[in-house]
Amino acid sequence: MSQTISQPESRSDAPGQPAIVSVTGLTKRFGDRLVVDNISFAIQRGQCVGFLGPNGAGKTTCINMLLGLVEKSAGEIRIFDLEAPRFHRDIKARIGVVPQADSLDPDLSVEENLSTYAGYFQIPRRLARQRIEELLHFFALHNRRDEIIEHLSGGQRRRLLLARALLNEPQLLILDEPTIGLDPQARHLIWERLAILQAKGTTMLLTSHYLDEVSRLSQQVLILDHGQVVVQGEPRQLITDMVGLEVFEVDGTTAELDALAASFRQCNATQERVGDKLYVYAREDCSRLVKVLGEAGSWVRRPANLEDLFIQLTGRSLRES
């Protein structure tokens, strides 16, 4: 008891409060192929962790190991301080998952999809009905409750998948590309709802290729490549440390860009040439060089973002797997 008093509850790294997810040395081999290579990370209560990486980096395999859909080759997984996969039944009772591929039941209506899923969690019928009602309203689906899944738009399906994932009031929400293929309106509605859930303290694990989405939602990011953790930390801090403050993107001929590159060497910045484009990642205020740029054809000056960090760490070559 005395420990709880001396340790403020809000401190997520307090010894009395184990991490929601804690993974140590997690490894997965498919035959000779090492897909996940000795990964360790932790997700603290109330955090949203963005799980990033190019295609084939091992994100989905990693998530599937957390859920027991893929057997780990080595390592330790603890979720809610319970060992997985030994306690998966108890663990999964407290997790909500929005899968990347639509797994709604096309034979059932919106409401039936939810009530059937509530059945899998053995939520008592009266309580389930009440939660379904709340969730239908929360995700603006109450007017479509009797609709067949086929008649729903992409955004409505995604919202229904989210509603389904929240039926058991999960303490951990796993979101695998939650807004993939949606129009901006639909994405904004989902972000707004996720922000409300975050404010209520729901812990989240998010994977997405939309890095603006990750920047918006995550307090921590973890970038995977070739099955290993390349970097993890607070996104703003990582961007400042590893990319810089701002980015100049300049189009021009080789001669023009060569000249500009020389001028930019006066400033603390790293440079990258991609085709007819010059990227300058400034680590300090390079405003004094703007007058040099004025003469160049077209250029953009913008804050450094997560996408810059991502490209810097994982390269520009295409990953097709």
Partner 1 sequence: MNGFSFWTIWLRNARVWKKNILATLIGNLGQPLLFLLAMGYGLGRDMAPVAGLTYLQFIAPGLVASAVMYSAALETTYGSYTRLTVQKTYEAILMTPLGFVDLVLGEIVWGASKGMLAGVIMLLALPLFGVMPSPWVVALLPMLFLSGMFFSAFGLIMTALAKNYDFFNYFTSLVITPLFLFSGIFFPVQTMAPPVRGVLEMLPLTPIVSLARIFCYGRFGEPVLMKIIGSLLATGCAVWLAGYLLRRRLIQ
Considering the complex, state which of residue 168 and residue 220 has its C-beta at the smaller distance from partner 1.
Answer: 168
**260-299 footprint of partner 1 as x/- string (CB under 8 A):** ----------------------------------------
The backbone torsions φ and ψ at residue 120, rounded to the nearest 5 degrees and listed phi first, read: -60, -30
Q: The tokens of 310 are what?
A: 């991502």
Pairing of strands 172-176, 203-207: parallel
CB of 146 to partner 1, least distance (A): 13
Considering the complex, state which of residue 28 and residue 187 has its C-beta at the smaller distance from partner 1.
Answer: 28
User: Which window, 17-25, 43-51, 116-124, 312-320, contacts partner 1 (CB under 8 A)?
Assistant: 116-124
Segment 50-109, which members bind partner 1 (CB under 8 A)?
64, 67-71, 88-90, 92-93, 95, 97, 99, 101-108
Considering CB under 8 A, how many residues would be counted as binding partner 1? 31
Rule CB under 8 A: is residue 189 a binding residue for partner 1?
no
CB of 109 to partner 1, least distance (A): 10
In contact, 136 and 129? CB cutoff 8 Å: no
Segment 131-170, which members bind partner 1 (CB under 8 A)?
168
CB of 263 to partner 1, least distance (A): 54
Q: What is the DSSP letter of 20?
A: S
Rule CB under 8 A: is residue 315 a binding residue for partner 1?
no
The total of other beta-carbon atoms located within 10 Å of residue 28's CB is 22
CA dist 47 and 202 (Å) reads: 8
Angle between helices 125-138 and 154-165 (to 10 degrees): 140
The DSSP secondary structure of 108-126, one letter per residue, reads: SBHHHHHHHHHHHTT--HH
CB of 269 to partner 1, least distance (A): 45
CA dist 165 and 206 (Å) reads: 14
Rule CB under 8 A: is residue 192 a binding residue for partner 1?
no
Considering the complex, state which of residue 163 and residue 238 has its C-beta at the smaller distance from partner 1.
Answer: 163
Considering the complex, state which of residue 67 and residue 245 has its C-beta at the smaller distance from partner 1.
Answer: 67
Q: The tokens of 271 are what?
A: 């440079």
The total of other beta-carbon atoms located within 10 Å of residue 150's CB is 9
User: Which window, 120-128, 225-233, 236-244, 281-289, contacts partner 1 (CB under 8 A)?
Assistant: 120-128
Considering the complex, state which of residue 128 and residue 304 has its C-beta at the smaller distance from partner 1.
Answer: 128
Dihedral of the alpha carbons of 123, 84, 78, 215, in degrees to the nearest 10? -70
Considering the complex, state which of residue 66 and residue 313 has its C-beta at the smaller distance from partner 1.
Answer: 66
CA dist 15 and 7 (Å) reads: 9
Rule CB under 8 A: is residue 30 a binding residue for partner 1?
yes
In contact, 173 and 197? CB cutoff 8 Å: yes
CB of 289 to partner 1, least distance (A): 52
Element housing 85 (H / E): none
Rule CB under 8 A: is residue 112 a binding residue for partner 1?
yes
Rule CB under 8 A: is residue 37 a binding residue for partner 1?
no
Rule CB under 8 A: is residue 116 a binding residue for partner 1?
yes
Element housing 60 (H / E): helix 59-67
Look at residues 281, 222, 297, 212 and name the one whose alpha carbon lies nearest to residue 248. 281
Interacting residue ranges for partner 1, rule: CB under 8 A: 30, 64, 67-71, 88-90, 92-93, 95, 97, 99, 101-108, 112, 116-117, 119-122, 168
